Amino acid sequence: MTAHRWVMEQPGTPLTRVEFDLQEPSSNEVIIEIAGCGVCHTDLGFFYDGVRTKHPLPLTLGHEMSGRVIKTGKDAAEWQDKTVIVPAVIPCGSCDLCDRGRGTICRKQKSPGIDMHGGFATHITVPSAGLCAIDTARLAEVGMELADASVIADALTTPYQAVVQAEIEAGDLAIVIGVGGVGGYAVQIAAAKGATVVAIDIDQAKLDQLDGYGASMKINAGNVQGRDVRDAIRQFAKDNKLRQTEWKIFECSGTAAGQTTAFGLLTYGSCLSVVGFTMDKVEVRLSNLMAFHARTLGNWGCLPEHYPDALELVLTGKVSMLPFIERHDLSQINEIFARAHDGQLTRRAILIPDAS
């Protein structure tokens, strides 16, 4: 069977369409007919900023995928014809790290679009380990199609794991810095877990999009900066009888400015979760962690075992996705990359191979 994918030959040069023949899957692999693949900030980093992939170029990018299993290896037959979400990080499932629940740092992990060809294609072959089955009838009940669920694979599950790691609970004050494709879902997830959420961004349009979606306070960091941000949040916490300590801070912007703001908001017992990625460096005083008895956490992807719970938030309407996504033909990939890079997209783009 002939399929096609869009390949990055060199960073910054137009992606090219390449046809390829599907090979027989190995015993524990499946072939998935891709319904949709989301365009992530990480993809743009590989394409525009020269962030290195582990697989040598040429490589197909894309790690946010949903689709239907059309063929399986002999040890993965239970997945035949299932509709699924493909984890953005696929642990091996059998090493010491995986056995101890540390699959996101599994040294044998595979990430589509990084370690192997990714999802900007019609088909992909992936390990069956970690696949998340999805009921399209339940998706339809919340107005979504299978392609829409692709974004769950990273933009939703990554902040979900960050919220779980930070141990968000009812009564917490959560602060999300950068409320784009990932941060917007962090706001919704933290609110769904019972936190009161402060959303911070320099883009007023992104803040306005969150009306009715979990943000109890919104701060435009282009207008309010430095100590004034902290003071505004302190006053908000006081007015709403929230704690002045143990704030849960999520840096999702992937910018040096966002990281500096996040570190500056540390208070006693805070937890700072670094979710966004940047190649830029920041200068901070690490002794603040000691003085505040605070902690910082990195967050790489999401354990596959968390996917069903994250998905359930969507299927039960506790997290809304449709207002924050838009579909495009896969054949428009170069245009969509350019528009995303230039900040011209107001929603996360999902590329649909069926229409290309």
Which residues, 6+ apart, have CB-to-CB distance to 335 below 8 Å?
Answer: none
**C-alpha triplet 268, 270, 276: angle, nearest 5°:** 150
In single-letter form, the type of residue at position 296 comes to: T
d(CA 97, CA 324) in angstroms, rounded, equals 35
Residue 355: per-residue pLDDT: 54
Question: What is the per-residue pLDDT across 195-234, written as a single tens digit (0 to 9) for each?
Answer: 999 999 999 999 999 999 999 999 999 999 889 999 999 9
Contact (Cβ atoms closer than 8 angstroms) between residue 159 and residue 250: yes
Measured torsion, CA atoms of residues 262, 247, 88, 278, in degrees rounded to the nearest 10:
10
d(CA 152, CA 86) in angstroms, rounded, equals 9
Query: At 127, is the secondary structure helix, strand, or coil?
Result: strand
Q: Tell me the C-alpha to C-alpha distance, in Å, between residue 235 and each of 232, 242, 243, 349.
A: 5, 10, 11, 37
Query: At 119, is the secondary structure helix, strand, or coil?
Result: coil
d(CA 250, CA 330) in angstroms, rounded, equals 32
Residue 279: per-residue pLDDT: 86
As a three-state string, the secondary structure of 274-332 is ECCCCCCCCCCCCHHHHHHCCEEEECCCCCHHHHHHHHHHHHCCCCCCHHHEEEEEHHH
Question: What is the per-residue pLDDT across 124-143, written as a single tens digit (0 to 9) for each?
Answer: 999 999 999 999 999 999 99
> DSSP string of 15-40?
PEEEEEEPPPP-TTEEEEEEEEEE--
Q: In what order do the strands lie in the sheet with 173-177?
A: 215-220, 196-201, 173-177, 248-251, 271-274, 295-298
Flag residues of the chain having pLDDT under 50. Answer: none
In single-letter form, the type of residue at position 67 comes to: G
Which of 39, 148, 16, 159 has the alpha carbon at shortest distance from 83? 148
Kindly list the structural domains of the chain, giving each domain's residue range(s) and its CATH number in brackets, ordered by start.
Answer: 2-154+302-355 (3.90.180.10), 157-298 (3.40.50.720)
Note the Cα 237 to chain centre separation in Å: 28
Which residues, 6+ apart, have CB-to-CB distance to 169 below 8 Å?
Answer: 193, 194, 195
Q: Which two tokens stand for residue 183?
A: 């941060």
Q: Which residue has the tokens 């595979």?
A: 110
Query: At 257, is the secondary structure helix, strand, or coil?
Result: helix
Which of 128, 135, 32 has the alpha carbon at shortest distance from 77? 128
d(CA 268, CA 252) in angstroms, rounded, equals 21
Judge if pTM exceeds 0.75. yes
Residue 222: per-residue pLDDT: 93
Contact (Cβ atoms closer than 8 angstroms) between residue 66 and residue 155: no
Q: Tell me the C-alpha to C-alpha distance, in Å, between residue 306 and each of 65, 118, 132, 157, 313.
A: 16, 22, 10, 8, 11
Contact (Cβ atoms closer than 8 angstroms) between residue 272 and residue 165: no
Q: For residues 83-122, b (16+ Cβ closer than 10 Å) or e, as one string?
A: bbbbbbbbbbbeeebbeeeebbebeebbbbbbbbbbbbbb
Question: What is the per-residue pLDDT across 221-270, written as a single tens digit (0 to 9) for each?
Answer: 999 988 999 999 999 999 999 999 999 999 999 999 999 999 999 999 99
